[in-house]
Structure 1
């Protein structure tokens, strides 16, 4: 019996390449439609994320209508202006110089939600940590994001928008929680490093300082 369950070397490298080269895309979208075949593959990848109690709490709302995108963009601008006021003068100026969404430029927008009542009130694995269904849906987002990178498709997560705005635009039921609003499309290029890292907004942390052993704060193996 073959006890080596690892992927072949080339396939392993592809997985790590998708992880390391994944980027939050904002200003690199190009005017080219995403084929239904690729979109279906991305949604299937998301749908195969791990989920607590196998409840599969996600839904995927595909948005292509320019008028709907415009409504969402207005909601972004409102939250964006509010957010700018939270920074000191130096950071505010830098913040206002960033492009933080591609809502209108991307051919596909995708709203990913979590239906917290899908399989009833008692769910295996959620009895003690009820938030696990939310985390499961975030795993679906990451699955889609990595699959998109492998397909050469860019994804940008728009988090600067109030949930109440999205709930109103898309007529969401009370049992559904907004997890992610994504912009999806072909790109001119993928940046070599995350844009906020390149701009010096914050540095990449040293992994060695983030890994502990046996107890909090113990960095020696």
Structure 2
């Protein structure tokens, strides 16, 4: 039993079935690029964001700042930023690799019914600076934790999430007219997937396969 405020609270027990379902959830959490245009059910986005807000944060600072991008003009400007940065990225490769790159589906910006721009406040009042003096980047790490929580919560409901990183962060901040202390961490496309795959798309199109954990695990 755990104590909180003098009241005993029973620690939840997780069944073997739940453990198996959780492993399945992690395996099916895909970075979705191909979305149906149909909207999410009423109240679903708010429910998912409420669950995501349960994520841990350094000093209990909750530094994430979430902008729901609904305006067509703002969306169009974000798409233009993506297209410019995407072409610039393609030009960094040699001809064969660039041709392969241009065939990749790297965003669902035009199809996804929901766009979320997720920022991290570089100096939130909440938390009183606890835990971030020597590692201020933990604020952004906390925001990423919230994003991953949102991602898993969405997948449980059959909803896909795509993280678009081929954007100019400063351009997005200007487009959305956010506070100067907010730093873009992720631009997310959210909606029902057009198709379902358990393997990553970049693996299917032979861009990059996943590597075994042993290649990234060290002991000292």
TM-score w.r.t. the length of structure 2 is 0.90
More deviation, 198-207/62-71: 62-71
- 1:134 maps to which residue? 140
**Partner deviation per Cα, 1:97-119 (whole Å, 9 max, x = no partner):** 01111112000000111112212
Q: Which runs of 5+ in 2 are unaligned?
A: 3-9
Q: Structure 2 matches for 1:55-70, cutoff 5 A?
A: 55-70=61-76
The partner residue of 2:59 within 50, 53, 56 is: 53
- 1:23 maps to which residue? 30
Q: Distance in 2 between matches of 1:189 and 1:96?
A: 21
Q: Structure 2 matches for 1:34-49, cutoff 5 A?
A: 34-49=40-55
Aligned residue-pair number:
213
CA contact (8 A) 1:46 1:144 kept: yes
Q: Distance in 2 between matches of 1:128 and 1:122?
A: 14
**Partner deviation per Cα, 1:48-102 (whole Å, 9 max, x = no partner):** 1110000001111112233321111011001001100111222111000011111
- 2:200 maps to which residue? 194
- 2:218 maps to which residue? 212
| RMSD (Å) for aligned C-alpha atoms | 1.9
Q: 1:176 aligned to 2:182? A: yes
Identify if the C-alpha distance between structure 1 residues 121 and 23 changes in structure 2 by more than 3 Å, giving closer, same or farther: closer
Q: Structure 2 matches for 1:83-98, cutoff 5 A?
A: 83-98=89-104
Q: Distance in 1 between matches of 2:121 and 2:42?
A: 25
CA contact (8 A) 1:60 1:111 kept: yes
Q: Distance in 2 between matches of 1:133 and 1:75?
A: 26
CA contact (8 A) 2:58 2:127 kept: no
Q: Distance in 2 between matches of 1:104 and 1:203?
A: 27
- 1:166 maps to which residue? 172
Q: Distance in 1 between matches of 2:75 and 2:22?
A: 32
Q: Which runs of 5+ in 1 are unaligned?
A: 216-221
Q: 1:7 aligned to 2:14? A: yes
DSSP-derived class of the 1:127 partner? coil
Deviating 4+ runs (over 3 angstroms): 1-6
Q: Structure 2 matches for 1:148-159, cutoff 5 A?
A: 148-159=154-165
CA contact (8 A) 1:66 1:104 kept: no
Q: 1:185 aligned to 2:187? A: no
DSSP-derived class of the 1:61 partner? strand
CA contact (8 A) 1:79 1:160 kept: yes
